[in-house]
Amino acid sequence: SGARLPVPDTRDELSALADAFNDLLARRDEAVGRLRRFTGDAAHELRSPVTSIRAQAEVAVLHPDPQHSMEVLEEVVQETERLTTLVEDLLALARSDAGDVRETRVVSLPPIARQVAARHRGGDVKVVLYAPVEVRVLADPVEVDRVMENLVANAVRHARLLVRVTVLPFGRFGRLLVDDDGPGIDAEHRDQVFDRFFRLEGDRARDSGGTGLGLALVSEVVSRRGGSASVHVAPEGGARFQVTWPTAYS
């Protein structure tokens, strides 16, 4: 038994490298797949209002009758509004995907919550706000308004009688809770509601006018600020949406 050359233990390093490489490829495939699905879903969602507008307009052209034409025009206006919402949501997501993010500022949550709650009063559903103390977070005021608007509009749409909006400090975060007394969301769908284009079966069937993009936007914009969005069960039994933003110390 003579002297031996030390065998460099390269196998571990090589396999670690291969693992890292495969991991990278898998993540790339996933990203490409996500993008393809998104494009396909977007096209699909855009097609249905366009098809409907076209069909109605064609019928109106073939049967010129003033009464019927008015009905058709009303439908067309509605479908156009739906298209506008969809296109705006798609643009917002595209901007977010492109990393086009508004500058971070100190934002006081209670006044924005008050404005949003006020916008939704006067309907059948009662909107109650509880924001007893100042809560300042690092975010963007327009973004915070949009997040609150989205959650409160959803809650009002699904509630029976009551929507409760709460803004409070929560450890190192500012927390927004939007509770409703509607049907809530099953445990199995609680993650999915934040996916792009996801809508619960009932809402899809009823075609409540939504795009299925609102909660995806909420989740994406708050995550980017270092916060989070999640859904739970409200004390009233309906849905509880929770959003957090990091606190601004000053």
Residues that bind ligand ADP (CB under 6 A): 154-155, 158, 180, 182-183, 185, 193, 198-200, 203, 210-216, 239
Q: Is the dihedral of CA 186, 191, 192, 194 positive or negative?
A: positive
Closer residue to ligand ADP (CB): 42 or 185: 185
Give the position of tokens 């929507």: 163
Task: Report, in Å, the least distance between residue 101 CB and ligand ADP.
Answer: 20
Q: Which residue is nearest to ligand ADP (CB)?
A: 210
Nearest to 164 by CA among 209, 229, 113: 113
Closer residue to ligand ADP (CB): 158 or 164: 158
Nearest to 176 by CA among 250, 113, 111: 113
Cα-to-chain-centroid distance, residue 106: 22
Task: Report, in Å, the least distance between residue 100 CB and ligand ADP.
Answer: 21
Q: Which helix (H) or strand (E) holds 174?
A: strand 173-180
> In whole angstroms, what is the distance from residue 164 CA to residue 181 CA?
9
Closer residue to ligand ADP (CB): 75 or 195: 195
Task: Report, in Å, the least distance between residue 241 CB and ligand ADP.
Answer: 7
Closer residue to ligand ADP (CB): 75 or 220: 220
Task: Report, in Å, the least distance between residue 119 CB and ligand ADP.
Answer: 16
Give the position of tokens 């393809």: 36
- Write the single-letter amino acid at 156: V
Task: Report, in Å, the least distance between residue 41 CB and ligand ADP.
Answer: 13
